[in-house]
Amino acid sequence: MQRLYAARFGDLLAGDLRVFGGPSTIEPLAGRIRAEQVSIVLRNTPLGMVANILNAATLVMALWGSPDQTKAILWASVIIVAAGFVGLRARLSFQPVKPRSVSRRATQNLVRNAFLFGTWWGALPVLFFSGATSAAQVVITCLSAGMIAGGAASFSTIPIAAIAYTLPIFVGSAVAIVWMEGAVNLPVAILIVSYAITLFRAVLAHAVEFTQRFILQAESENAIRRDVLTRLPNRFSFNERLENALVDAKQFDQHCALLLFDLNNFAEVNDRFGRAMADALLVEVAARLRRSTRESDGIARLEGGEFAIIATRDIRPDQIRSLAKQIIEAMRAPFLIEGREIYWRASIGIALAPTDGLDANQLLRCVDTALYRAKTLGARSIQFFSASDDEAAARRRALERDLSSALANDQLWLAFQPFLDLGNDRIRGFEALLRWQHPTLGPIPPSEFIPIAEETGLIHSIGHWVVKTACLAAARWPRDLRVSVNLSVLQLKNKTLLDGIVVALAEAGLEPRRLEVEITETVLISNFEETISFLQSLVSLSVTVALDDFGTGYSSLTYLRKLPLSRLKIDRSFVQDMLTDADCAAIVRSLVELAHELRIEVTAEGVETPEQLDYLRCVRCDEAQGYLIGKPLRIGEIPGIAAEPVGQELST
């Protein structure tokens, strides 16, 4: 029971209004309210201390020459010294920007100091009123009333501090009046107490209103800082917390870690399953993040499937890697959304402060670079930012800048890799492969510059150029040869793509049947229904469609049944292992048989040895492509190769 009373008394001294029937608050909101209250008091304190000094000097002048002169000087000296010290300290400690939070102890110390000043002013009428002249009594009364009013105003946001300051003055005034002779003194003392109660009620009403207004404002600000869907802090709140963490790191030589967590290809979930399921997935991801992180870690949703975690405790690299692994493992289990099991993987990039920087923008660039490297290394990858990432990021920025002018500067060109008809050993056509010859960096692999083209939107203009150039090249070949071009996810989302293909065919004078469009399963996952509509439009023009890299993704048989496919391309990973791995051989054989049943031709990619070619012939595969057949060639080398049978050369 004693502990309970002690705790409640501590709450009272800390400014808790529940004792007076005010609103209940919990940390850290209570700390923010105290910060606002103390800031107001500190702002008023220097002026209040000047008033204390002037009032003390006024008392000395009023009692100068009286028997109480020396006592008045001593009393005033204490006030002047204390007020000067407190005022100067308040002036030095005042900050234009309010602190984020103030501790309970700081408020308790403020209440204690208010009580000490109030007690000293409460002693004024007790010590001097009875022996003073009428004029001096008027001065003492005015001084006491003025200090009561000033104190109540200064501490109006903290009722307990206002009470601690003004109550001793009221009590001292009442006692001094009661000691005076006269029947009227007792009613006057009672009147003073009544004034005190009225003043306390006014102060309390103001404090409660102030606190309620602050709570409403905090709730409004909290709503602005929350992601509507996941209820996690949003980017705005994240930026604030990161700035605060970096300020603490600078001021107190602390460390913090920033983790950037991204659901790989989240946009594909949105496109494939719809917005409602994608939102439900994000809510579940947020819940798993809360369970897999520590209470001290600050989680925020930035955008799409990207989340950030700010860690300010236990931030050694091994501890942060352990935290990242917990997050990755939390995402491993399937997400059960509306009765469906959705498997999704994530990657995490990590940057450390101050090691990787103490500027928010710099740290964000570092963690974004680390995340990019993690995503390129594959799902469930965890990567810390390293010095080499700076070089990679600089190279990427340079490539992004130079790619925008690569077309105009004739740095892009097409290589053509042949398809071999395994029935008559003749070339059936060529796949157009985009290449970039950078003037200073040399050949840039497509795996490096194609993602940049997609992210910057350059893929649309580059893709149009590829289709147009491929059609112009094929128009000069024998009429039984086709040309194949690859289309990415972003290209298919461009509403003008179909018109661009029609124009390219017309300008080149190429028969539509000689153009083949290759798509991957990623394209289908992204937007299945719209992709079907687009492909059917192509087929209506007599353009053929091939499904590339089949077997490496979801490999849904729905694709083979619903899509207007003319060709299925078996991924090179199966072809390369089919002679040594019975499972791969069975997959190749089964895919060929299945495709033929559905009247779809089959092309095997990555053929590099005669033995692989012989096996493909045995299982009745229609075409082969790979280095054994021919490497990607420049356009100037195509006519001579295309005009010659190649069966004899390949059989030797």
Residue 347 to residue 503: CA distance in whole angstroms = 41
Residue 451 has pLDDT above 60, yes or no: yes
- Enumerate residues 6+ apart whose C-beta is below 8 A from 85: none
Is 242 domain-assigned?
A: yes
- Do 353 and 442 have their domain in common? no
Burial of 597 from C-beta contacts in 10 A (0-12 / 13-18 / 19+):
exposed
The per-residue DSSP string of 529-594 comes to HHHHHHHHHHHHTT-EEEEEEETSS---HHHHHHS--SEEEE-HHHHHHTTT-HHHHHHHHHHHHH
- Are 185 and 286 within one domain? no
377 vs 597: CA distance, rounded Å? 38
Going 19 to 25 to 30 to 32, the CA torsion angle's sign is: negative
What is the reported pLDDT for 214?
Answer: 72
CATH number of the domain that 278 lies in?
A: 3.30.70.270
pLDDT of residue 32: 73
The angle formed by the CA atoms of residues 321, 323 and 329, to the nearest 5 degrees, is 100
Edge-first strand order for the sheet with 298-303 is 298-303, 306-311, 256-263, 346-353, 382-384
- DSSP H helices in 103-234: 104-128, 134-154, 159-179, 185-224
Tokens of 101: 């939070």
Domain co-membership, 515 together with 607? yes
Q: Do 424 and 368 sit in the same domain of this protein? A: no
Whether 162 and 115 have beta carbons less than 8 Å apart is answered as: no
Q: Which range is least confidently modeled, 189-198, 341-350, 440-449?
A: 189-198
pLDDT(415) > 80 = yes
485 within 8 A of 515, measured Cβ to Cβ: yes
Predicted pLDDT of residue 643: 40
Query: 223, 255, 284: which is the final residue of a domain?
Result: 223
552 to 138, 555, 571, 596: CA distances (angstroms):
97, 7, 7, 20
Domain ends where: 196, 223, 250? 223
pLDDT in tens, 61-79: 989 988 889 999 999 999 9
Q: In this structure, what are the phi and psi dihedrals at residue 407, rounded to the nearest 5 degrees?
A: -65, -50
Q: Which of 420, 416, 488, 432 is nearest to 639 (CA)?
A: 416
Position 583 scores a pLDDT of 86
Look at residue 604 in the predicted model and tell me its pLDDT: 93
Summary mean pLDDT of the chain: 82
Q: Does 320 map to a domain? A: yes
Assess contact for 379 and 371: CB atoms under 8 A.
no
Q: What is the model's pLDDT at position 390?
A: 65
Of 327-341, 371-385, 553-567, the range with the lowest mean pLDDT is 553-567
- Residue ending a domain, among 333, 356, 385, is 385
In a domain, 398, yes or no: no
What percent of the chain is modeled with pLDDT above 90?
Answer: 27
Backbone angles phi, psi at 404, to 5 degrees: -65, -25
Whether 100 has a pLDDT exceeding 80, the answer reads no
pLDDT at 651 over 60: no
Higher pLDDT, 21 or 313: 313
pLDDT score recorded for residue 183? 45
Q: Is the pLDDT assigned to residue 355 strictly greater than 90?
A: no
Give the helix ranges, DSSP H, for 25-67.
29-62
Which H or E run includes 132? none
**Residue 12 reports pLDDT greater than 90:** no
| CA gap 319, 460 in Å, rounded | 44
* Residue 570, amino acid: I
Task: Note whether 55 and 82 are same-domain residues.
Answer: yes
pLDDT at 23: 55
Q: Which of 453, 455, 465 is nearest to 408 (CA)?
A: 465
Query: Predicted confidence band at 28 (pLDDT cuts at 50, 70, 90)?
Result: low
| pLDDT value for 515 | 96
Q: Tokens standing for 110?
A: 């403020």
Answer whether residue 344 shows pLDDT above 90: no
Residue ranges making up the domain that contains 378: 235-385
| Greater model confidence, 91 or 454 | 454
598 lies in some domain:
yes
Higher pLDDT, 453 or 37: 453
Reported confidence tier of residue 639, pLDDT bands at 50, 70, 90: low
Q: Cβ(405)–Cβ(624) under 8 Å?
A: no
Confidence band, pLDDT 50/70/90 cuts, at residue 339: confident
| Position 393 in a domain | no
Give the pLDDT mean for 27-48.
Answer: 77
Mean pLDDT, range 201-225, rounded to an integer: 72
> pLDDT band at 642, cuts 50/70/90?
very low
Q: How far apart are CA 166 and CA 144, in angstroms?
A: 9
- Asked whether the bond before 159 is cis by omega within 30 degrees of 0, the reply is no
> Rounded to whole angstroms, how far apart are CA atoms 443 and 437?
5
Least-confidence region, from 38-47, 49-58, 551-560: 551-560
Q: Are residues 188 and 240 in the same domain?
A: no
Q: Are residues 317 and 370 in the same domain?
A: yes
Asked whether residue 552 carries a pLDDT value surpassing 50, the answer given is yes
166 and 299 in a single domain? The answer is no
Phi (first) and psi of residue 498, to 5 degrees: -60, -45
Record the tokens describing residue 8, joined without a space: 């409640």
Share of the chain above pLDDT 70, in %: 85
Rounded CA separation 595/563 (Å) = 12
pLDDT band at 627 (very low <50, low <70, confident <90, very high): very high
275 part of a folded domain: yes
Is 198 part of a structural domain of the chain? yes
Integer Rg of the chain from CA? 40
Question: φ and ψ at 322, to 5 degrees?
Answer: -60, -40
* Neighbouring residues of 214: CB distance < 8 A, sequence distance ≥ 6: 32, 33, 36
94 and 129 in a single domain? The answer is yes
Mean of pLDDT values over 545-567: 73
458 lies in the same domain as 580: yes
Confidence category of residue 189, pLDDT binned at 50, 70, 90: low
Write down the pLDDT at residue 489: 78
What pLDDT, on the 0 to 100 scale, is given for residue 508? 94
> Does residue 392 belong to any structural domain of this protein?
no
CATH number at residue 643: 3.20.20.450
Domains in the chain, number: 3
| Same domain, yes or no: 250 and 163 | no
Residue 646, pLDDT > 50, answer no
Q: What's the rounded Cα separation, in Å, for the pair 619 and 604?
A: 11
Least confident of 446-450, 521-525, 551-555: 551-555
Name 62's Cβ contacts closer than 8 Å, sequence gap at least 6: 132, 135, 136, 139, 140
Give the bridge partners for 251, in sequence order. none
CB 548 within 8 A of CB 519: yes
pLDDT at 3 over 60: no
Look at residue 490 in the predicted model and tell me its pLDDT: 81
CA separation for the pair 470, 193 (Å, rounded): 98
pLDDT of residue 4: 47
If you average pLDDT over residues 280-307, what whole number do you get? 88
Average pLDDT over residues 168-195: 71
Q: Do 553 and 620 share a domain, yes or no?
A: yes
